[in-house]
Amino acid sequence: MSDIPEEFERRAFLLAGVGGLAFTTLIGRMAQLQIFENKEYRLEAASNQFNYSIIPASRGPIYDRFGIPLAVNRRDFRVLMATDEIPDKNQIDGVLNDVATIIQLDENKLNQAKQGIKEAKRHSTTQIAGNLSWEAYSRISLYSANFVGVHPEMGESRNYPMGEAFAHIIGYVAKANDKEIEKDPKAKHPAIRVGRQGIEKTLEDILKGVHGAQKSEVDAHGRVVREIYDPNLVPKAGSSVVLTIDAELQQVAHDQLGEESGAIVLLDVNNGDILALASSPSFDNNKFIDGISAADYRALNENERHPLYHKAIRGAYPSGSTIKPMMALAALESGVIKPEDHINCPGFIEIAGNRYHCTARRGHGNLNMVNAIKTSCDVYFYELGRRMGPDNMVRTARRFGLGQEHDIGLPGVAKGTFPSPEDKMRIYKKKWEIYDTINMAIGQGLVTITPLQLAIMVSRIASNGKAIEPNIIKSIDGVEQKRPFTNLPISQEHLDIVHRGMYGVTNEAGGTAVANLGIEGVKIAGKTGTAQVRRISMSERASGVKSNASLEWRLRDHSLFICYGPYDNPKYACATIIEHGGFGASAAAPRGREVIKAAILKDPATLPFFVPHNKKANAATDDGEGGI
Amino acid sequence: MDLLPFGSDLSENNIFSKLRRVEWGMWFVLLVLATYGTILLYGAAGGSWQPWALDHIVRFFLFSAIMFAVAVIDIRFWYQLAYPAYIIVFVLLVGVELVGDISKGAQRWLQLGPLRLQPSEFMKITAVVALARYYQDLNVKNIEKIKHHIIPILMVIAPAGLIMKQPDLGTGITVILVGGVMVVLAGISWRWITGAIVGAVGLFVFAYNFLLHDFQRKRVETFLNPELDKLGQGYQITQSKIAIGSGGFWGSGFMHGTQSRLDFLPERHTDFVFAMLLEEFGFVGGILALVLYAAVMAYGIYIATSSRNIFGKMVAGGVTMLLFIYVSINAAMIMGLMPVVGMPMPFISYGGSVMLSVMFALGLVQNAKVYRDKIINSGFAKK
């Protein structure tokens, strides 16, 4: 018994040592968590503690030059579902059914909502229904406390009051896609829309503002303990944008186009403001905001007149005879002809063994330049082309904006084609031939232009060489977007000749589009064009060219018309293209004339611009008087 | 060290002289710990004495009285009670196995008339006392020999097996570790100790693969990789680590622990109270708590080594080990060093029965101090 206590003592101290080692380990672990890994755990604690609910920024409004709203935000009552908050996913359908009863959602939309929620990503909020009536919203607000994960919300939704007339210009917004959400995670909020087309797309960064968030402290059960104000998280409203467009004239142009497939562009020749930029047929861009139905989209996409296509800036057409005034200038500038030099038109011309026909089968006889423009004599311009060659034509065409890209602030502006011999070799790998020169001289063959380019060309002629660069954006947040331009080095004398020719077209006997404008003392000058879409074979020419009326729609000629006015003091220029409209004077000219007439009567260039009151202030949630 | 008059031995048998011999320093440390716990529980309730803090401190004083009562009762009474108590509790354990109530998936409770008992809690103490008596009675020269230890080992394994079958892994392991340490203290040879450790590891591997219940195995798995199951089994460990880690060196301050306050920390007033302590009082507050526990254990070791009878030595050693297991397993668990096993932090965690059993056990340690010079005449076994 005597040695037991000693051994006991030894072992007790040994065990105490083991215990001390264990405590040291515990302290080491404490140090690891609390000192060395403290930073990471603090972050994790914060992500436990705080929750951020996104507050979409108010998207910037878009106005016409006089303040008519083109894209606005409408108050929208909606109800959202945060599936994360619902512990038992099997309850979701039941909750949706109850919500549908409360807000009187029809079967169809309910199924759509169910589908949407099924397909929604984790940790996302999905819209059950939007555009609720005030009554439905009140009811769901009252009952939502009974449903976990159901959140009534009062927000804004985009709306386009002018719809079709502006669909191509304004474009539309749609829900953010995965890539955009990756860039700005806040964009996952179901009410946030991203610009997809038109101004909404090009000015997305300016219009969207900065989305904010409500920071709140939550407990482990997801209940909000308190809300925290963080000035960095206050949403900033997007900038307001004023366009150069005059909504009234745009409407006139849109109405003039009617059901035809075509485009009308109206410019202010003195500063390049785009007053109207209509494409037809159009579509209702409001349908895209909440996602267009597949059937509606298919109908638009498969329509042979391509309503989704912004023809005014994207459509490239043969210019036809509308190019002749510019060709006349090119010839005068290159010195191959004098204005009073006469060329005889027997109805055709033979160059390098090929016969090129004039529209007048029996010929125009002897013509000077003014008359050649007025009567649109092809033979006269074949001869000009032959004399000056492609390089002179291309040089002048570039000065008038053809074959060039014009950044007017809209996506998808086409460049058209006006190739030099080098360009042809580079693009088509083919040598330049004499018939290329001849065709180019009358705006056929390799030449394609957009309605916008056509308007720029006529505008630069009308303004005696002001090389205006049009832009559709007048001001952003009230700050005017200046667009300086230079003057073209073109002789005034030569310009006057062309002006006289174009005056003849619309005012003198023998002109191709003579008509009275109907405004006392005001005349316009113009030029028609008929662009051939199909090849006319030798046999057809022998037996008589078929009339447009006898042809299928898509084989008929394009009808073009350019004009400017008033003749004495040019202010506005207009280009009109009616696809497959037949003869230029019949389809395009009357429409273009109506548009420029409206412009001259209203004279928007003399009226003051709309300046939006500066909304740059942090208009967070502009609840106004309608608040709850 | 004490105030016993020369030669007085046990002649001074009145209650005051016995109370004088109680280790008051140890009780004072316990008071500090209980106060620490009271402060935490006051904070856990959002700055209120209800429902935990007041209960906690009142219980401490109430159970202190019981502790002192246990301390002054003649050590021979506890010696005599050792086997009968052990047998009764063992029978109750068997009873649990046969007719026990199932609560939370485990069969732990026994309803005896109006009493609802958890015999496994009692077994921790009765096993200690019974083993102490066995070694007191043993009185042999060659104590290293294995044959002397077979009976105590069976006395530990049998109830531990029943407890683990309930299944209550934590308590079962506690009984085995406490019993094992007592066998080691009694003087079993080092060869057998080494063998037992190797065997235990082997058994663990075997048990993990063939004996453990699915939920126990899952606990081990999620302990090894809590990220696997962030919202299920691993949730508690993950949240506990976040609370502890975010506290940092100085802590986030009393009642400013966001994870505890916002309910992210589970069971913050019971098993995970130490995590709340570490969040609010930081590394510094944690060290303080561990130092206090170490002080209590140091008193336990001091009493064990200074007792002159085997029974007192063994009781003090076993109870000290019991306390060590509570503290280290709880701390290791909340810091993610061990699977979650439902083990409270004595004197800080809220809960009456655990505090009662621990203070009763420490009463026995005090008893060993009060009667440290008492010679116990073993009534049985002269081998």
Pick from A445, A406, A442: nearest CA to A527:
A442
- B245 vs A29: CB contact, 8 Å cut-off? no
Please, which pLDDT band fits residue B231 given cuts at 50, 70 and 90? low
Given CB atoms, is B53 within the 8 Å cutoff of chain A? no
The whole-number pLDDT of residue A538 equals 67
- A29 vs B241: CB contact, 8 Å cut-off? no
Integer Rg of chain A from CA: 35
Among A3, A26, A225, pick the best mutation site for testing chain B contact (most B Cβ within 10 A).
Answer: A26
Q: For residue A142, tell me if it sits in a domain.
A: yes
Q: Which residues of B touch A28 (CB under 8 A)?
A: none
Residues A154 and A194 in one domain: yes
Q: How far apart (Å, rounded) are the C-alpha atoms in residues A371 and A508?
A: 10
Region A125-141 average pLDDT: 88
Range of the domain at A410: 258-284+308-606
Given a contact cutoff of 8 angstroms between Cβ atoms, the answer to whether B123 and B158 are in contact is no
- A15 vs B181: CB contact, 8 Å cut-off? yes
The whole-number pLDDT of residue A626 equals 35
- B313 vs A8: CB contact, 8 Å cut-off? yes
pLDDT digits (tens, 9 = 90+) for A232-255: 889 999 999 999 999 999 999 999
Cβ-based interface (< 8 Å): residues of A facing B: 1, 4-5, 7-9, 11-13, 15-16, 19-20, 22-23, 25-27, 29-31, 33-35, 37-38, 40-42, 44-45, 48-49, 217-221, 225
Among A512-521, A569-578, B164-173, B180-189, name the most confident range: A569-578
Range with the poorest average pLDDT among A46-60, A315-329, B17-31: A46-60
- The answer, yes or no, to whether residue A461 has pLDDT greater than 50, is yes
For residue A500, the SS3 value is helix
Given CB atoms, is B197 within the 8 Å cutoff of chain A? no
Structure tokens at A69: 């709203």
- The answer, yes or no, to whether residue B3 has pLDDT greater than 80, is no
- The answer, yes or no, to whether residue A256 has pLDDT greater than 50, is yes
Residues A270 and A201 in one domain: no
Given a contact cutoff of 8 angstroms between Cβ atoms, the answer to whether A382 and A441 are in contact is yes
Region A521-525 average pLDDT: 92
Q: For residue A17, tell me if it sits in a domain.
A: no
Pick from B177, B160, B164: nearest CA to B208:
B164
Q: How far apart (Å, rounded) are the C-alpha atoms in residues A40 and A203?
A: 40
Q: Which one of B185, B258, B332 has the shortest CB-CB distance to A11?
A: B185
Q: For residue B362, tell me if it sits in a domain.
A: no
Cβ neighbours for A299, distance < 8 A, ≥ 6 positions apart: none
Residues A231 and A277 in one domain: no
- The answer, yes or no, to whether residue A622 has pLDDT greater than 50, is no
Q: How many domains does chain B have?
A: 1
Question: Secondary structure of A547-572 in the HEC alphabet?
Answer: CHHHCCHHHCCEEEEEEEECCCCCCE
Percent of chain A with pLDDT over 70: 95
Q: How far apart (Å, rounded) are the C-alpha atoms in residues A58 and A68?
A: 19
Range with the poorest average pLDDT among A144-153, A499-508, B223-232: B223-232
Q: CA B109 → CA B99, B105, B122, B310, distances in Å? A: 9, 11, 12, 34
Question: Residue A276: in which H helix or E strand, if any?
Answer: strand A274-280
Q: CA A622 → CA A55, A618, B207, B308, distances in Å? A: 12, 9, 66, 85
For chains A and B, what is the number of CB pairs under 8 angstroms?
A: 125
Answer positive or negative: Cα dihedral of B83, B86, B92, B96.
negative
The whole-number pLDDT of residue B223 equals 62
Residue A628 burial (10 A CB sphere; 0-12, 13-18, 19+): exposed
The whole-number pLDDT of residue B144 equals 81
User: Rounded to the nearest 5 degrees, what angle is found at the Cα of B334, between the Cα atoms of B328 and B335?
Assistant: 85
pLDDT digits (tens, 9 = 90+) for A167-186: 999 999 998 888 888 888 88
The whole-number pLDDT of residue B275 equals 95
Residues A151 and A276 in one domain: no
Which parts of A441-523 are beta strand (E)?
473-476, 479-480
The whole-number pLDDT of residue A619 equals 41
pTM reported for the whole predicted model? 0.72
- Higher confidence at residue B217 or residue A369? A369
Instruction: Give yes or no: A321 in active site.
Output: yes
Given CB atoms, is B301 within the 8 Å cutoff of chain A? yes
Given a contact cutoff of 8 angstroms between Cβ atoms, the answer to whether A180 and A187 are in contact is yes
Q: For residue A26, tell me if it sits in a domain.
A: no
The CATH number assigned to the domain holding A151 equals 3.90.1310.10
Q: How far apart (Å, rounded) are the C-alpha atoms in residues B121 and A584?
A: 104
User: Rounded to the nearest 5 degrees, what angle is found at the Cα of A44, between the Cα atoms of A42 and A45?
Assistant: 60
Residues A333 and A457 in one domain: yes
Residues A432 and A577 in one domain: yes
Q: For residue A612, tell me if it sits in a domain.
A: no
How far apart are the CA of B20 and the nearest CA of chain A, in angstroms? 25
Q: For residue B351, tell me if it sits in a domain.
A: no
Region B162-188 average pLDDT: 89
- B278 vs A30: CB contact, 8 Å cut-off? yes
Region B318-338 average pLDDT: 94
Q: For residue A477, tell me if it sits in a domain.
A: yes
Cβ neighbours for B240, distance < 8 A, ≥ 6 positions apart: B265, B266, B272, B275, B334, B335, B336
Residues A328 and A448 in one domain: yes
Please give the mean pLDDT across all residues of chain A: 89
* Bond into A419 cis (ω within 30): no
The runs of H, that is alpha helices, within chain B are: 15-21, 24-44, 53-72, 75-99, 119-138, 150-165, 169-186, 190-210, 214-224, 234-247, 258-261, 273-306, 310-334, 352-370
Q: For residue B89, tell me if it sits in a domain.
A: yes
Region A279-306 average pLDDT: 90
- Chain B's closest residue to A14, CA to CA, is B185
Residues A328 and A208 in one domain: no
Q: What phi, psi does A305 have (nearest 5°)?
A: -95, 5
Region B82-97 average pLDDT: 92
Q: How many domains does chain A have?
A: 2
Q: For residue B114, tell me if it sits in a domain.
A: yes
Please give the mean pLDDT across all residues of chain B: 87
Q: How far apart (Å, rounded) are the C-alpha atoms in residues B326 and B358?
A: 10
pLDDT digits (tens, 9 = 90+) for B121-153: 899 999 999 999 999 988 777 788 888 899 999
- The answer, yes or no, to whether residue A93 has pLDDT greater than 90, is no
Q: How far apart (Å, rounded) are the C-alpha atoms in residues A278 and A248?
A: 12
- The answer, yes or no, to whether residue A227 has pLDDT greater than 90, is no
Residues A207 and A263 in one domain: no
Q: For residue A106, tell me if it sits in a domain.
A: yes
pLDDT digits (tens, 9 = 90+) for A408-454: 999 989 999 999 999 999 998 999 999 999 999 999 999 999 999 99
The whole-number pLDDT of residue A574 equals 97
The CATH number assigned to the domain holding A320 equals 3.40.710.10
How far apart are the CA of A38 and the nearest CA of chain B, in angstroms? 5
Range of the domain at B232: 80-344
Given a contact cutoff of 8 angstroms between Cβ atoms, the answer to whether A324 and A373 are in contact is yes
Q: For residue A381, tell me if it sits in a domain.
A: yes
Given CB atoms, is B353 within the 8 Å cutoff of chain A? no
For residue A284, the SS3 value is coil
Please, which pLDDT band fits residue A380 given cuts at 50, 70 and 90? very high
Structure tokens at B379: 């009534």
Range with the poorest average pLDDT among A8-12, A213-217, A218-222, A480-484: A218-222
Among A1, A23, A224, A228, pick the best mutation site for testing chain B contact (most B Cβ within 10 A).
Answer: A23
CA A584 to chain centre: 28
Residues A313 and A168 in one domain: no
In angstroms, the first-to-last Cα distance of chain B is 35
Residues A118 and A179 in one domain: yes
- The answer, yes or no, to whether residue A474 has pLDDT greater than 60, is yes
Among B246, B252, B301, B335, pick the best mutation site for testing chain A contact (most A Cβ within 10 A).
Answer: B246
Q: For residue B74, tell me if it sits in a domain.
A: no
Among A58, A261, A280, A321, the one annotated catalytic: A321
Between strands A62-63 and A241-243, the pairing is: parallel
How far apart are the CA of B102 and the nearest CA of chain A, in angstroms? 27
The whole-number pLDDT of residue A618 equals 40
- B248 vs A35: CB contact, 8 Å cut-off? yes
Residues A194 and A321 in one domain: no
